[in-house]
Amino acid sequence: MQISHLGIHESVGAIFPAEQLREELSALDPTVVVVADGDDALADCDALVTFAHRDAFLDTDLEWVHSIQAGYDRFPLDEFGDAGIVLTNSTGIHGTSVGETVLGTMLEIARRLHGFSRQQVAHEWNRPDWDEPFTLQHEPICVVGLGTLGQGIAKRADAIGMHVTGVRRSAESVPHVRTVYANDDLHEAVSGARFVALATPLTAETEGLMGKAEFDAMRNDAYFINVSRGDCADQDALVAAVRDGEIAGAALDVFEEEPLPEDSPLWDMDDVIVTPHAAAAEVDYYRHIAELVRENTQHIDADEELTNRVV
């Protein structure tokens, strides 16, 4: 593989300005250009950095596509393989941002800050009942999925004194996690936790992973946090669990349909925090992507295996 023209697809603008990444990569040997849908410049590109997938990518001479997200469920992997296009993703860069987001939402819930924010908008001055606020120290959290995101959550939860357990394919130990459960023991793992944080990629195995049975297994005073993908949890079952008091609430960054429809009951539930798929957002996001792209162009020059290769 030889790369002479590297394109940055305009869709990265959903996360950061495409020009920002182009400037960061301007010192690369390949010519770096921003390309748009229908742009003739795409035909000259050997490689592409993108947020979205377009079927047109499969009809070009692209040899390598890099996704600026860790998740790659939007890309047709079999078709990429058939077309001989290498696909890499951005796993490994979001542990800090997502970990801090989850810690922040847990603090909002425990210290009732989300309620105070809503009161401020309404110009209301009300203190919560004496037994509503609590501290996170010693509270149990179960992190489902212990990759980069899950370990980022576990590290920060452990740092403030929470009791951290987790779930992964194998029960091998993980730093900052006291007990690791195998996937088959998911119900046991979530049953004792005050917070259950879902941080898995979306795969055939994880689609619908958290459903009615799993919410039933959780404590009535437990909160569900989702920073994985919306389809990893049954949203109707979650709404019912919160509405019926089977769990206490949720903090959700991802949804089955995005943007979240205006008529979703999740908007108006008192103990549900809704964020717009922004857990990984940070000012240095484009720099992390540039670092991965530079690393892989070096691997290509040296005829080495690419980092984070999916296809």
Which amino acid is residue 282, in one-letter code?
E
In this structure, what token pair is assigned to residue 127?
A: 């203190």
Collect all residues with Cβ–Cβ distance below 8 Å to 51 and sequence separation of at least 6: 9, 11, 12, 13, 14, 15, 67, 68, 69
Q: Rounded to whole angstroms, what are the CA distances from 261 to 21, 196, 264? A: 31, 24, 5
The alpha helices in the chain, defined as continuous H runs, are 18-24, 77-83, 95-110, 113-121, 148-159, 186-191, 212-217, 235-243, 285-301
CA 304/CA 283 separation, integer angstroms: 31
CA 168/CA 182 separation, integer angstroms: 5
Q: Residue 259: is the preceding peptide bond cis (ω within 30°)?
A: yes
Read off the DSSP letter of residue 245. T
Which amino acid is residue 63, in one-letter code?
E
Considering 187, 258, 304, 309, which one is annotated as catalytic?
258
Considering 53, 277, 282, 288, which one is annotated as catalytic?
277
Considering 66, 94, 229, 288, which one is annotated as catalytic?
229
Q: Say which residue the tokens 């290509």 belong to.
A: 300
295 is catalytic: no
Which amino acid is residue 128, in one-letter code?
P
User: By the 8 A CB rule, do 170 and 200 touch?
Assistant: no
Q: Say which residue the tokens 């020059």 belong to.
A: 301
User: By the 8 A CB rule, do 128 and 110 touch?
Assistant: no
277 is catalytic: yes
Question: What's the sign of the alpha-carbon dihedral 269, 140, 178, 212?
Answer: negative
187 is catalytic: no
For residues 267, 271, 275 and 280, what is the CA-based torsion angle, rounded to 10 degrees?
-160
Residues annotated as part of the active site = 229, 258, 277
